[in-house]
Structure 1
Amino acid sequence: MARPRWHQTLTAPSSRLERRWDRFVALWAALNLLWVAFDISYIPLRTFWLQRNLYPLPSVPLAVPLTFIPDITPWVDPIKGIEPHRETQAYLRQFDRLDAALGQGPTGAVTPIQRQLLAEQARLTAEMIDSNPMQASGTSGTLEKIKNRLRQRADRDSAKQAAAVLLSPAWIDAHPWSQERLFWRQQVLPLVATTYWRSIDENGRPTDHFWRYDLLLFQSVFALDILLRAIRLRRRLPGLSWGRALLRRWIDLPLLLPFWRWLRVVPVMERLHTSGLISIEPLRAVISRAVVALLAVELFEVLALQLIDGLQQLIRSRRWPMRIRALRSHQMVVSNDERELVELVRIWGPLLLVRVAPRLAPELQGVLGHALQQSLQNAIVPPGLRQLQPLLQVEKGLSRQLAGGMVESLLDLTRTTGERLSRRDDQQLELLQRCIDRFWEELAEALESGPALERSQQLLCTFLEEFKGNYLSQISRAGIEGLIEELDQIMVKGSQGPQERTDAP
């Protein structure tokens, strides 16, 4: 079975201590990432951490209690500069006094003290609706929930009127307090308790001491690990400077930044991967495939257009003959005195003249014989005697013999020339070099002296322009997807090949 590219073994640290340290730092970085996620989401989810209730349906007051989760707000609120709101705390204390008075009093008519407490509670409710203390904590929607529940309970259009009705002696006389207190305790007071006040530092920003714990517990460890990695890198590469060694760990920069902390997910995933705890190559392959599918068409179109436009500019240039002359040997920059073109002629000449040309003898004889027969058909046999088959057979035989003789002579000449070219001969190489230089010179002069240059430039540029319009317009993303699948198949086959050879006896 072929092993995918992302299952390749990773280069582990040299010592066991370094390996354990890398895994510890990777796990510590993962813990820091969770702490960062908790810190970022604490303010939006503070109501959940305070009440530890889950509301499956936001529009319905149905709560699923999660009492097994501890109340962490007393420890986290001071870190975020959160303090209880004075107005809402006074409202909750006043309700506790009202609940105690109504719960301990005798059944029957409402006493004057109870009337006074009910009126005070109604006044505080109206003030809370007017002042909206939830706005300070950015939870104005909480007040709307309270107002909606008051309206539904009293069946009134105004939240203030509903609060006055629910806290009136007549309503308390008609409805048992045991039921009313459940409404207030379960649907109103928990929402009021979520209101808080957050202090502001000297810079005008909300107080947040998270950076102190982050710096002391996590960033100090990350800085030490980056320094150790730079030391290990300079140990392997003694000529590497400290600046370049630290620059190679640029991916660890988000671990030391006090802002944009969500970027730490990149170095954390990289450390977990390099330490061997997880493998992110399948995810990286999927992401890179999606990116390639989106950008391959545009990237290829830009590169192809740039290449074709460059060729058109080169072709339209009036310096084209000069560039052809520059191909001569004495104008080319050649390293180690190696004449590449001459060496290619010396290698390919014998290959074509000695090995390839003799095998084409029957085909060459047929082509040359047909050409001779067409040339001699009026010279040997007159038109009036061409109806006689014996004379035509003689004409064909003569053409075949002449063609065979010419081909044999030509092949003997080419065979002899090829054998001579295969030998190392300095004078022969010099002659070949002169011939090639003369060819470039005559070609450049012919292009300069006649109309062929402008016409060739026009035709080639027109061809390239039609190529841009026809070929590039046919490229589609569906074709790119097919190419990516074909590449995957090629990579799988390539990984199967060495394994099969290894397993073979």
Structure 2
Amino acid sequence: MARVNWSTLSKRWNQGVTLLITLNVGLVLFNLSYVPLRGLYLQYVPTLVQAYDPLKGIEPHPQTQTYLETVATLRQTLATQGLEAQESEALLADLRQQSMTLIEENPFLIENQMASFAQLKRRMRGYMQTASAQNAFQRFWSQAYLNEVGWPTALAYFDRRIEPILARNYFRQTIATGQFVDFFWWVDGFFMAFFAGELLVRSLVVSRRQPGVSWLDAIARRWYELPLVLPFWRWLRILPMLVRLHRSGLANIEWLLSQITHEPAAYLSNRISQYLLVRLINQTQDSVQQGTLFTADETALQVPVGEPDKVNRILDRLTELVIYRVVPTLQPDLEAVLRHSLKQALTNSNLYDGLRQIPGIETMPASALDLLASYLAQATCDILVDSYDDEQGRVLLDQLNRDFRQALGEEIKGQETATELKQLLFDLLEEVKINYVQREKIHDPEATLAEVDTLQQRPSS
């Protein structure tokens, strides 16, 4: 017996549910568009309108339906008895009366069909070349006019331009609360019940597989699927449909999402970056003015993180780097400086002027100075390293470090120096803040976002 591949089965199930959600969203969108676009559906798919009208409680409007039936009877009468027959005259008089009632009562008020009513009057006025719709209908349904232009020509225009407007007018039933009849929930109820059951079962499975995740937590994490089980705001089901299409692999909507959020994301990220930078600089400026940038503010809540006395630890670490890593690499430069300094000190001293009287002293090789400079540079490096490694030397260096920091701190805390440094730091931060915001006005945030997208698309090495 073949083993069941649960992974494949789960994937196929998710794809099937996704297709069902897509079908439901299609039905929801069609239902939302049916009333506004009923005229188009009636023109191109009349059988669909005949089947769907009862679901929306829609019936042909009795007034316009009677009007069209009277026109159909007139056409038959004219074809069999002619325009001069007494029955034809009676039908024309009836149509003139119905036209007057049609214009006065306006049966197109329901569902905001005023555009259709205006179009009806405009077409009739234009065809009859008169400014009054009532006069246009009265003259159109007269024996004299039909005899003048020929009733087949007049009725052909009516069938082509007037009848479609009258045919799409309808009457919609209402319930006791005054709302229109809508039985779409009969169809949607089956989908809602299925989606609710699928959501509950899947949430239960997740809560069983993941310890610490309750059944309600699992449902809350699928909040975007809740529109599938709500009888209102059905158009929101587009969101779970897109998510499920992407997750199931049936459609890749990454491009669509990036295009939809491109411009908002560009300008939003630009605004956020400006806000964060300005806020950070403002807080730093406040710390500079208050003198609490590198000192703890006892009035504020201080949360220690990591080792205590971090500033001293950083200085100790920098001292180690200087002694063991930086100073050895600078030894050639130190030799050059010492060589130059020794030579200058020697040649400028009074002792050297006296020694120049000794024969052969001027021919002393320059290598002696080089040797002395190398010795002093190497000795300096060795002294620093040995002192830092030696316990007593380390104590002396630490004392030197503390005294240096204390002396430097006292000088910095001086009124004149502290005021000057605070002002310089404040002005520097203000300059950075202003110049950054001004530069952001020059750079297009969409171009920056496009550059980010390009960098993300590059293959990683």
TM band (smaller chain) = 0.7 to 0.9
Residue 456 (structure 1) aligned to one of 421, 425, 445: 421
Deviation, 1:339, is 8.6
User: Where does 1:80-95 land on structure 2 (aligned, <5 Å)?
Assistant: 80-95=56-71
Equivalent position of 1:503 in the other structure: none
Equivalent position of 1:370 in the other structure: 340
**Judging changes above 3 Å, is the alpha-carbon distance between structure 1 residues 271 and 103 closer, same or farther for their aligned structure 2 residues?**
same
Deviation, 1:410, is 0.6
Give the number of the structure with larger relative contact order, counting CA–CA contacts within 8 Å between residues 6 or more apart: 1
**Judging changes above 3 Å, is the alpha-carbon distance between structure 1 residues 132 and 477 closer, same or farther for their aligned structure 2 residues?**
farther
Deviations 1:19-77 (A, max 9, x none): 2221111001101111111011111111112222xxxxxxxxxxxxxxxx351223322
Equivalent position of 2:234 in the other structure: 261
Q: Are the aligned partners of 1:324 and 1:444 in contact in 2 as well (CA < 8 Å)?
A: no
Q: Is 1:407 aligned with 2:372?
A: no
Equivalent position of 1:357 in the other structure: 327
CA distance in 2, matches of 1:234, 1:271: 20
Q: Secondary structure at the match of 2:59?
A: strand
TM-score normalised to structure 1 length:
0.78
Equivalent position of 1:130 in the other structure: 104
Equivalent position of 1:103 in the other structure: 79
**Residues paired across the two proteins, number:** 452
Q: Secondary structure at the match of 2:178?
A: coil
Name the stretch that deviates more: 81-90 or 169-178: 169-178
**Judging changes above 3 Å, is the alpha-carbon distance between structure 1 residues 472 and 113 closer, same or farther for their aligned structure 2 residues?**
closer
**Judging changes above 3 Å, is the alpha-carbon distance between structure 1 residues 428 and 97 closer, same or farther for their aligned structure 2 residues?**
farther
Residue 317 (structure 1) aligned to one of 278, 285, 290: 290
Deviation, 1:440, is 6.0
Q: Is 1:470 aligned with 2:443?
A: no
Q: Are the aligned partners of 1:372 and 1:399 in contact in 2 as well (CA < 8 Å)?
A: yes
User: Where does 1:179-198 land on structure 2 (aligned, <5 Å)?
Assistant: 179-198=153-172
Equivalent position of 1:246 in the other structure: 219
Residue 158 (structure 1) aligned to one of 110, 122, 132: 132
**Judging changes above 3 Å, is the alpha-carbon distance between structure 1 residues 240 and 401 closer, same or farther for their aligned structure 2 residues?**
same
Deviation, 1:449, is 5.2
Equivalent position of 2:141 in the other structure: 167
Deviation, 1:288, is 4.2
CA distance in 2, matches of 1:334, 1:260: 49
User: Where does 1:8-407 land on structure 2 (aligned, <5 Å)?
Assistant: 14-52=6-44, 69=45, 71-106=47-82, 110-214=84-188, 216-319=189-292, 322-323=295-296, 333=304, 352-380=322-350, 400-407=370-377
Q: Are the aligned partners of 2:89 and 2:143 in contact in 1 as well (CA < 8 Å)?
A: yes
**Judging changes above 3 Å, is the alpha-carbon distance between structure 1 residues 291 and 101 closer, same or farther for their aligned structure 2 residues?**
same
Q: Are the aligned partners of 2:267 and 2:445 in contact in 1 as well (CA < 8 Å)?
A: no
Q: Are the aligned partners of 1:321 and 1:445 in contact in 2 as well (CA < 8 Å)?
A: no
CA distance in 1, matches of 2:339, 2:31: 92
Q: Secondary structure at the match of 1:371?
A: helix
Deviation, 1:263, is 1.8
**Judging changes above 3 Å, is the alpha-carbon distance between structure 1 residues 86 and 36 closer, same or farther for their aligned structure 2 residues?**
same
Deviations 1:208-257 (A, max 9, x none): 2223321x221111111211221222122121112211110011122223
Q: Secondary structure at the match of 1:473?
A: helix
Q: Are the aligned partners of 1:342 and 1:429 in contact in 2 as well (CA < 8 Å)?
A: no
Name the stretch that deviates more: 39-48 or 437-446: 437-446
CA distance in 2, matches of 1:346, 1:113: 117
Q: Are the aligned partners of 1:81 and 1:206 in contact in 2 as well (CA < 8 Å)?
A: yes
Q: Secondary structure at the match of 2:348?
A: coil
Equivalent position of 1:58 in the other structure: none
**Judging changes above 3 Å, is the alpha-carbon distance between structure 1 residues 292 and 78 closer, same or farther for their aligned structure 2 residues?**
same
Where in structure 1 are there 5+ consecutive unaligned residues? 1-12, 53-68, 326-330, 498-505
Deviations 1:348-377 (A, max 9, x none): 666543454333222111123333444444
CA distance in 2, matches of 1:333, 1:437: 23
Where in structure 2 are there 5+ consecutive unaligned residues? none
Deviations 1:181-224 (A, max 9, x none): 2222222122111111223333333332223321x221111111
Amino acid at match of 1:164: Q
Q: Secondary structure at the match of 2:116?
A: helix
CA distance in 1, matches of 2:305, 2:436: 37
Q: Are the aligned partners of 2:60 and 2:170 in contact in 1 as well (CA < 8 Å)?
A: yes
CA distance in 2, matches of 1:324, 1:113: 105
Name the stretch that deviates more: 243-252 or 390-399: 390-399
Amino acid at match of 1:408: Q
Amino acid at match of 1:21: W
**Judging changes above 3 Å, is the alpha-carbon distance between structure 1 residues 83 and 432 closer, same or farther for their aligned structure 2 residues?**
farther
Deviation, 1:401, is 4.7
Q: Secondary structure at the match of 2:171?
A: strand
Q: Are the aligned partners of 2:108 and 2:116 in contact in 1 as well (CA < 8 Å)?
A: yes
CA distance in 2, matches of 1:187, 1:220: 46
CA distance in 1, matches of 2:33, 2:395: 81
CA distance in 2, matches of 1:194, 1:166: 22
TM-score normalised to structure 2 length:
0.85
**Judging changes above 3 Å, is the alpha-carbon distance between structure 1 residues 170 and 478 closer, same or farther for their aligned structure 2 residues?**
same
Q: What percent of counterpart residues are identical?
A: 31
The CA RMSD measured in Å over matched residues stands at 3.7
Amino acid at match of 1:30: T
Equivalent position of 1:491 in the other structure: 456
CA distance in 1, matches of 2:201, 2:251: 22
User: Where does 1:438-453 land on structure 2 (aligned, <5 Å)?
Assistant: 444-448=409-413, 450-453=415-418
